[in-house]
Amino acid sequence: MSVQVWTWILVGVTFALYFGIAIWARAGSTKEFYVAGGGVSPLANGMATAADWMSAASFISMAGIISFTGYDGSVYLMGWTGGYVLLALLLAPYLRKFGKFTVPDFIGDRYYSNVARTVAVICALIVSFTYVAGQMRGVGVVFSQFLQVDITFGVIIGMAVVLIFAFLGGMKGITYTQVAQYCVLIFAFMVPAFFISIQMTGNVIPQLGMGGTVEDGTYLLDKLDQLHTQLGFKEYTDGTKSTWDVFAITLALMVGTAGLPHVIVRFFTVPKVKDARKSAGYALLLIAILYTTAPAIAVFARTNLIETVSETKYADVPDWFKNWEDTGLIAWSDKNGDGKIQYVAGGAIEGKKPVYTEERGVYGERLISNANANANELYVDRDIMVLANPEIAKLPNWVIALVAAGGLAAALSTAAGLLLVISTSISHDLIKKQIKPNISDKGELMWARIAIVGAVIIAGYFGINPPGFVAAVVALAFGLAAASFFPAIILGIFDKRMNKEGAIAGMIVGITLMLFYMMKFKLDFFGGGTKEDWWFGTSPEGFGTIAMLVNVVISLVVSRATAAPPQHVQEIVENIRIPSGAGEAQSH
């Protein structure tokens, strides 16, 4: 069977499974909608957390970024895994003991202020919408290639799918759907890794294959370094980022992880604090399977790509190249008329999105208006590397289709979790806690579902018009979480003297600073800027670290210059550090 037929079958079967679970796990109360009733087992919650955590950025884009940036891409591995450990050990048990299942709810009660709660709601919406844009972009990329539809239409399909199981089941439906999605995505990620590792190195374990030798006895990484230098690129195993920027990005990703509201809420879906700790351990183990395999996938994909297309005549390239070209995610410019694809460093369209004309070239290639006038150049979108990898390696059609189903599972699982955060922030933290305190359980549930519909529409727009690659967009969401939530949460737990004035000032200054920097250097607002203009040599992905430190300083200074929190709040802070005695998550 063809790839497209296999894709329709596998995607159809998995979607039917997700819809079936959503109908079976339909939420009938706000507690079920917000925290799945609080009765999920640690293993199931660990699997759901892993699926929620391993988004399209992890599945589709992380290996792609590592594939193109080599050593520099390690910041994503260190930051995202380290951040989860930080969250599990330093924050989750205390937040679980506090009993409030949303970050705005914790901040509102800890800082005894609806103003603080509102600021936290706004921050949660900004972070979540930035994050979900990357997921919807991933859905569009998968659909556009494997189901042969336009990226925009692919995003719309993804919006409809995620709306159904998020709307019906809330956290209950999402949790059990994510258990299934974890199984799909990890199987889809690992199967081609096993195949390609055996194919290239003879070793079935990808992590070992990456450090193994190829047919002529050369180490695979040495071979890739040689291919890079021959094409004018820096060695794959050598980095170009400054030590400070590597540190800044890693720390921003770590503390951003610890402030992500859609991950924190996971620790309230289990009955006890002990179960929350267990589920965190299971999740870390399950996440590690993918995260230790991603660098190997990156090396395999990069090597295969260079060997397949460099100095190859366009007429001789495999079908996968032309298929991806039709989606606009691979482009080739033949300015000197020799019909060969030249993949070299410094090309005018390398790393930039091509602008296509309506015409086709003499070989049938799509023509580009923004290519260098005298060079044969190649553009490859980083987000396709994992998806195209099985095709480049000539794996069976069912494996190629399986990767498409896995990519959709990863994107949809995280999108659903983020949409629930957006919905909860509006229905629970804004309407229930501030606007209509006497609203009925049924009324609150209705507003939660209305909010999900609105959130899906906005998320779809950002998915169609994203500000960058999936992982790059997601990295900005982590920077926003680091700049806004992390100081307020960590100081709220460990500093009795931290008051509402300090927390509010810190959050506002932190997220405003991060938004300004992101818009200036990533979206070219406020006059734009180049790498040479970065403040302290810090990239937009790493600026969350500086914004977080500014937040901490502002929070501490303002809190010390204003009145101390009420005595009962200080006693709460003392109490949540004691492990025993935690009750169920409080939804009201």
- pLDDT digit string (tens) for 259-272? 777 777 777 777 77
Domain-ending residue, one of 427, 459, 475: 475
| Assigned domain for 469 exists | yes
Sequence-ordered list of residues with C-beta below 8 angstroms from that of 434, at least 6 positions apart, any chain: 114, 117, 118
Residues in the chain: 588
Residue 579, pLDDT score: 53
Selection from 287, 336, 286, 345 nearest residue 314 by Cα: 336
Whether residues 270 and 418 fall in one domain: yes
475, 503, 531 — which closes off a domain?
475
User: Domain total for the chain?
Assistant: 2
66/147 same-domain check: yes
CB atoms closer than 10 angstroms to residue 189: 27
Please tell me whether residues 120 and 54 are part of one structural domain: yes
Task: With respect to residue 573, please indicate whether it lies within any of the assigned structural domains.
Answer: no
Q: Is residue 285 part of a domain?
A: yes
Quote the pLDDT of residue 560.
94
Cβ-Cβ contacts under 8 Å for 146 (sequence gap 6 or more):
3, 4, 7, 11, 387, 400, 401, 404
User: Is 181 inside any structural domain?
Assistant: yes
Burial degree of 441 (CB within 10 A; 0-12, 13-18, 19+): middle
Sign of CA dihedral 205, 176, 167, 53: negative
For residue 586, the 8-state DSSP code is B
Same-domain pairing of 376 and 283: no
Q: Is there a single domain that holds both residue 148 and residue 284?
A: yes
Distance CA 254, CA 80 (A): 6
For residue 106, which of 486, 528, 515 has the smallest C-alpha distance? 486
- Is there a single domain that holds both residue 148 and residue 287? yes
Q: Which of 475, 493, 526 is the last residue of a domain?
A: 475
**Are 233 and 135 members of one domain?**
yes
Cα separations in angstroms, 256 against 206, 237, 419 = 29, 27, 18
Taking 60 as the threshold, does the pLDDT of residue 457 lie above it?
A: yes
Q: Are residues 235 and 339 in the same domain?
A: no
Q: Collapse the DSSP code of 368 into the 3-class scheme (helix H, G, I; strand E, B; otherwise coil) and give the result.
A: strand
pLDDT tens track for 115-158: 888 888 888 888 787 777 777 777 777 777 666 677 778 788 87
For residue 237, what are its two tokens?
């195993």
Q: Which H/E stretch holds residue 358?
A: strand 356-360
Is there a single domain that holds both residue 209 and residue 350?
no
Are residue 257 and residue 337 in the same domain, yes or no?
A: no
CA-atom Rg of the chain in angstroms: 24
* 488 within a domain of the structure (yes/no): no
Domain assignment present for residue 576? The answer is: no
Task: Return the structure tokens found at 165.
Answer: 């199981």
**Statement: residue 508 has pLDDT above 90:** yes
pLDDT digits (tens, 9 = 90+) for 1-55: 887 788 888 888 888 888 788 777 766 666 666 665 567 888 888 888 888 777 7
Mean pLDDT of the chain: 81
What angle (nearest 5°) sits at the alpha carbon of residue 46, between those of residues 43 and 51? 130
The H or E element containing residue 379 is strand 376-380
Instruction: State the CATH number of the domain containing residue 195.
Output: 1.20.1730.10
Ranges 55-59, 348-352, 537-541, 583-587, most confident: 537-541
Print the domain residue range for 362. 330-380
Chain-centre distance for alpha carbon 481: 13
Name 330's bridge partners. Answer: 380
503 within domain boundaries: no
- Amino acid identity, position 258: A
Q: Kindly state whether residues 234 and 348 are assigned to the same domain.
A: no
97: Cα within 13 Å, side-chain hemisphere: 18
Specify whether 159 is located in the same domain as 65.
yes
Is 227 part of any domain? yes
**588 residue type, one letter:** H
